[in-house]
Amino acid sequence: MENHNFENEGQFQRKMSSRHLQMLSIGGIIGTGLFLSSGYAIAQAGPLGSVLSYLFGSVMVYLIMFSLGELAVAMPVTGSFHTYATRFISPGTGFTVAWSYWLCWTVALASQFIGAANLMLRWFPGVPVWVFATGFAALVFLVNSLNVKWFAETEYYFSSIKVYAIILFILLGGLAIFGILPYEGSHQAPLLTNFVKDGLFPKGLLGVITVILSVNYAFSGIELIGVAAGETDNPKKEIPFAIKSTIGRLVFLFCLTMAVLAALMPASQAGVVEAPFVVVFDKIGIPFAADLMNFVILTAILSAANSGLYASGRMLWSLANEGMISKNIVRINDNGVPMRAMILSMIGVVIALIASIYYEKTIFLALVSIAGFAVVVVWLSIPIAQINFRKRWLKEHRLDELDYKTPHSPILPYLTILLLIVSIIGIAWDPSQRAGLYFGVPFVILCYIYHFIRFKKW
């Protein structure tokens, strides 16, 4: 195996600590996926099915992050999984993975700016949506233009607000479930009646399977720990700690949140038109609850957009650094920011933003499914790359020489691959999410064809 020195690759500033890594990852995850897509999950899979689908997503993320951890500690490079796919699967796969990840965040960013702008209409109903969307896009671009340490600090506090808000929601929702707080004007405890009154799985097990892609979208962002590996001050120490603590927090936050939502919101009232958190708080009857949650969700969406622009810009930089697109994009300014890569990412956001305006009623789930498909393509590459990396490593080294290795059984990466494939197949039965297949599959094929034509190798 080639002996590469990845410690100082590129010109990024290694100024991120473990707390920055954790909050960057959490910030990328807790956005529209949890605050809006959770309503879609309850409507499709039912209360119990939605909780199970998020538990399934937690297990999948748990497995993916262990594979990513082994790779990221051994090779801490910016835009990590694209590099791993290139070196341990094929250059064509690395190229496709990088563009798929860029697509995921570009599409997600557009939906987040539109979503944030629509939330502002509650307070400023006469202002056009594009005004706020443009303003939020400019704000997020400005924050990402700062020194990476200032960016990390900003995202840390952004993310902290929504984490505390979710914990408060879990506590107040729990009190309502047990009748301590009134729900819909009554102190009668709803307990777990919501889970069984329409049957355990109103739309059958197929309903549970079809929402897994939207759950994947909800968890997309966890892999930002790997993207930021090249800007971490002590990768061997910080990355494993960030992975373990982030997974623990996410399982707690997501699964408990879904349990509270499912217990208090009937499937017939759930959807993506109105944030389920606002609906539940309104029914609990807390003064100014809707405005409070409106502000929190606005903060959450901007935080996710902040992390998303960071990720998409770094991925384009990584492509340029590998020589797969113009080397001019590699240039990094004095703040340690790949400005040209970020500007190109924002151009993609503007195109998707325009599409969002023209197809306002149907665009959200379509964007979710496209972003969900793209992130599954990325996630699939991680365990495959780790399997091949481990095989090469063992030819020249002992297993215990790895600073961090995937724990438990060596069969786990293969199980991860199987679960991810199931999540892709499931969306074929959901007409509202098939856009992920219709757009995603041709996109992947075109990436491979372009790479082969340009570089004459797969």
pTM of the model as a whole: 0.77
Average pLDDT over residues 242-253: 74
Looking at residue 5, its pLDDT comes to 37
Tell me the per-residue pLDDT of 343-382, one tens digit each, with 9 for 90 and over: 888 887 787 677 766 665 666 667 778 888 888 898 999 9
Averaged confidence pLDDT in the chain:
77
Summarised one tens digit per residue, pLDDT across range 155-181 is 677 777 877 888 888 888 888 888 888
Range with lowest mean pLDDT among 38-47, 83-92, 238-247: 238-247
Distance of CA 223 to the CA centre of its chain: 8
* pLDDT score recorded for residue 369: 80
For the chain, the maximum distance between any two Cα atoms, rounded to a whole number of angstroms, is 69
> For residue range 41-66, what is the model confidence (pLDDT) as tens digits?
888 888 888 888 888 888 888 888 88
On whether the CB atoms of residues 58 and 251 are closer than 8 A, the answer is yes
Count CB atoms within 10 A of the CB of residue 407. 9
